[in-house]
């Protein structure tokens, strides 16, 4: 069995953070995002290869994962010659594959039981199985209606309130049989959601849904990216280091350097190589990335700082996401959900945002 991770998107909703860091490798605490999806796939013993379908800055993704040696699963890369849409990307990545495929959209954070999804697919002898997840506000998404026996009835794009008949949406996780891909045209942009799935319904192929009511989020916006970190701090998702860490206390790498008289309030995370100087305050829901420098008396709260950035002396930083290798000058004040792209330089006494 093979898996395909659709990791070719440009991550435009997360710009400027994704101008130099493709969305699949944005850091979630101390790990690139796709590690969490690979962890799920490793729970299925039959999956012997993960194929990363890439288009945007593929080399930077390959630099992180290599051949998969560090992940425990073999990884292969397929780079689209041009953006082919979700359906086109799957067909292109699945060339010469005859095994059943597990497919993940490259921006979904979830704890779905992939083994259970595969078991349902086989039990029903399905041509395709789609994972659905319930949402509170269905008008913001495309709904997926099902029959009483779990077969998919229809897709309804962003319905009006009076059209809502269910609360389940496409979770971006599928089990597919490659012998159905002949209906996907080669080398053109083609949507699995708007064309391939409707074709299964029209042809009365066995197309079933697995409804998962566990954790699910699309990390593709700054608000959702922040929410993932908060959810992991709060115990709503327990992947990565939070599989074993004690959330009741600050999580500080033994390879971080913490000087005297530093005030650290949990939940928070300080990665290896970070240096927190005397008198600094690291407040709740703060993430200090690998190799970051927090100068004397700086005050951080509810902030995500990517690796190798520096926060100046007596700076107050409450709320932003700060990219790699940034420098926030001394006595600066940053409040609210500002986004600082990689290598941003803010001069001393800069003031951005408000409470």
pLDDT digits (tens, 9 = 90+) for 310-346: 999 999 999 999 999 999 999 999 999 899 999 999 9
**Is it the case that residue 246 has pLDDT exceeding 80?**
no
In this structure, of 35-44, 159-168, 180-189, the range with the lowest mean pLDDT score is 159-168
Which tokens is 218 given? 């699309």
DSSP 117: H
Q: Which residues contact 248 (CB under 8 A, 6 or more apart)?
A: 266, 267
Q: Return the sign of the alpha-carbon dihedral for residues 175, 178, 180, 186.
A: positive
Q: Do domains 2-222 and 246-352 have the same CATH topology?
A: no
With vertex at residue 232, the alpha carbon angle to CA 245 and CA 172, rounded to the nearest 5 degrees, is 130
- When the pLDDT of each residue in the chain is averaged and rounded to a whole number, the result is 89
The helix, strand and coil proportions of the chain, stated in percent and rounded to the nearest 5, come to 25, 30, 50
Q: Provide mean pLDDT across the span 50-60.
A: 87
The pLDDT tens digits of the residues spanning 81-133 come to 888 888 888 989 888 888 999 999 888 899 999 999 999 999 999 999 999 99
Mean pLDDT in residue range 59-69: 83
Residue 7 confidence (pLDDT) above 70:
yes
In this prediction, what percent of the chain has a pLDDT beyond 90? 49
Q: Where are the domains of the chain?
A: 2-222, 246-352
Structure letter (DSSP) for residue 193: I
pTM: 0.89
Residue-level pLDDT at 170: 87
Q: Domain 2-222 classified CATH 3.30.60.50? A: no
Sheet-wide strand order for 345-346? 257-258, 275-276, 293-294, 310-311, 327-328, 345-346
pLDDT exceeds cutoff 80 at 157: no
Q: Output 118 or 158, whichever has higher pLDDT.
A: 118
pLDDT digits (tens, 9 = 90+) for 120-144: 999 999 999 999 999 887 777 778 8
- The answer to whether the CB of 89 falls within 8 A of the CB of 80 is yes
Mean pLDDT of 263-279: 94
CA atoms within 13 A on the CB side of 320: 29
- Topology annotation, domain 246-352: UDP N-Acetylglucosamine Acyltransferase; domain 1 (2.160.10)
């Amino acid at each position: 069995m093979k898996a395909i991770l659709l990791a070719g998107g440009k991550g435009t909703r997360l710009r400027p953070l994704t101008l130099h860091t493709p969305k699949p490798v944005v850091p979630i605490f101390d790990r690139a995002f796709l590690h969490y999806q690979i962890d799920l796939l490793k729970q299925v013993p039959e999956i012997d290869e993960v194929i990363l379908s890439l288009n945007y800055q593929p080399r930077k993704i390959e630099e992180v994962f290599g051949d998969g040696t560090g992940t425990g699963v073999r990884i292969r890369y397929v780079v689209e010659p041009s953006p082919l849409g979700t359906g086109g990307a799957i067909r292109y990545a699945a060339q010469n594959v005859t095994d059943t495929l597990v497919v993940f959209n490259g921006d979904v954070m979830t704890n779905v039981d992939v083994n259970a999804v595969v078991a349902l697919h086989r039990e029903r002898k399905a041509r395709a199985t789609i994972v659905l997840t319930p949402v509170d506000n269905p008008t913001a998404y495309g709904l997926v209606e099902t029959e009483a026996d779990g077969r998919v009835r229809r897709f309804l794009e962003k319905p009006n309130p009076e059209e809502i008949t269910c609360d389940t949406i496409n979770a971006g996780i599928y089990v597919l049989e490659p012998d159905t891909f002949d209906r996907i045209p080669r080398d053109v942009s083609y949507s699995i959601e708007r064309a391939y799935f409707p074709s299964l319904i029209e042809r009365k192929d066995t197309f079933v849904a697995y409804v998962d009511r566990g954790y699910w989020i699309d990390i593709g916006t700054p608000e959702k990216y922040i929410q993932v970190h908060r959810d992991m701090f709060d115990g709503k998702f327990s992947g990565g280091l939070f599989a074993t860490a004690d959330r009741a206390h600050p999580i500080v790498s033994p390879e971080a350097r913490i000087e005297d008289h530093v005030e650290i309030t949990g939940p928070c995370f300080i990665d290896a190589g970070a240096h927190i100087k005397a008198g600094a305050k690291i407040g709740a829901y703060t993430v200090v990335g690998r190799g970051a420098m927090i100068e004397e008396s700086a005050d951080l709260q509810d902030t995500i700082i990517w690796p190798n950035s520096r926060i100046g002396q007596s700076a107050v930083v409450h709320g932003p996401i700060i990219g790699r290798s940034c420098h926030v000058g001394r006595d600066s004040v940053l409040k609210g959900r500002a986004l600082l792209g990689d290598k941003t330089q803010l001069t001393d006494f800069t003031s951005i945002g408000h409470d």
